[in-house]
Amino acid sequence: MVPSKENRSLPRLLLIDDDPVSREVLAMILGMHGFPVESAEDGADALRLLDTSATLPEVILIDTQMPGLSGIELLNALRQRSDARLIAISGSPVSKEIRRATDGFLLKPIQSEDLVALLNTPKRKKKAVTAPETEATSESTQLTDWIDPVILGKLKAMMPAPAVLEIYSAVASDMEGRLVKLKAAMDARDSTEVAGIAHTIKGGCSMVGLTAATQAAARLESSNGRETWPKELLQLHFALSKLQGMLGDGLP
The dihedral of CA 196, 182, 47, 130: what is its sign?
negative
Contact yes or no for 178/217 (Cβ under 8 A): no
DSSP label at residue 220: H
At 117 the pLDDT is 78
At 6 the pLDDT is 57
Question: Do the domains spanning 13-119 and 143-248 agree at the CATH topology level?
Answer: no
What confidence category does residue 135 fall into, taking pLDDT thresholds of 50, 70 and 90?
A: very low
The dihedral of CA 90, 93, 97, 102: what is its sign?
positive
Q: What are the residue boundaries of the structural domains of the chain, listed by start? A: 13-119, 143-248
More confident residue, 34 or 136: 34
The CA-atom distances, in angstroms, between 66 and each of 18, 20, 158, 162 are 6, 12, 28, 30
What confidence category does residue 142 fall into, taking pLDDT thresholds of 50, 70 and 90?
A: low
In percent, the amount of the chain with pLDDT more than 90 equals: 25
Q: Which fold has domain 143-248?
A: Four Helix Bundle (Hemerythrin (Met), subunit A) (1.20.120)
Residues with Cβ within 8 Å of 64's Cβ and at least 6 positions away in sequence, in order, are 70, 71, 74, 75, 88, 89, 90, 94, 98, 102
Digit-coded pLDDT (tens) for 9-66: 788 999 999 988 888 888 888 888 888 999 999 999 999 999 998 889 999 999 988 8
At 82 the pLDDT is 86
At 125 the pLDDT is 40
At 143 the pLDDT is 59
Residues with Cβ within 8 Å of 89's Cβ and at least 6 positions away in sequence, in order, are 17, 26, 61, 62, 63, 64, 105, 106, 107, 108, 110
Please give the radius of gyration of the chain, using alpha carbons only, rounded to the nearest integer.
18
Contact yes or no for 225/213 (Cβ under 8 A): no
Q: What is the mean pLDDT of the chain?
A: 82
What confidence category does residue 131 fall into, taking pLDDT thresholds of 50, 70 and 90?
A: very low
pLDDT(126) > 50? no
Gap between the Cα atoms of 200 and 202, Å rounded: 5
pLDDT(8) > 80? no
- Grouping H, G, I as helix, E, B as strand and the rest as coil, residue 8 is coil
At 137 the pLDDT is 34
| Dihedrals phi, psi of 78, to nearest 5 degrees | -70, -40
At 50 the pLDDT is 92
Amino acid identity of 191?
S
Gap between the Cα atoms of 251 and 57, Å rounded: 36
The angle at the Cα of 109, spanning 196 to 117, to the nearest 5 degrees, equals 130
Digit-coded pLDDT (tens) for 72-91: 889 989 988 888 999 998 88
Taking the C-alpha atoms of 48, 54, 59 and 65 in order, what is their torsion angle to the nearest 10 degrees? -10
Among the four given CATH numbers 3.40.50.2300, 3.30.2320.50, 3.30.1360.70, 3.40.50.300, the one describing domain 13-119: 3.40.50.2300
Residues with Cβ within 8 Å of 43's Cβ and at least 6 positions away in sequence, in order, are 16, 66, 68, 69, 70, 73, 74, 77
At 130 the pLDDT is 36
Q: What would the mean pLDDT of 106-129 be, rounded to a whole number? A: 66
Helices and strands of the chain, counted as H and E runs: 11, 5
More confident residue, 81 or 145: 81
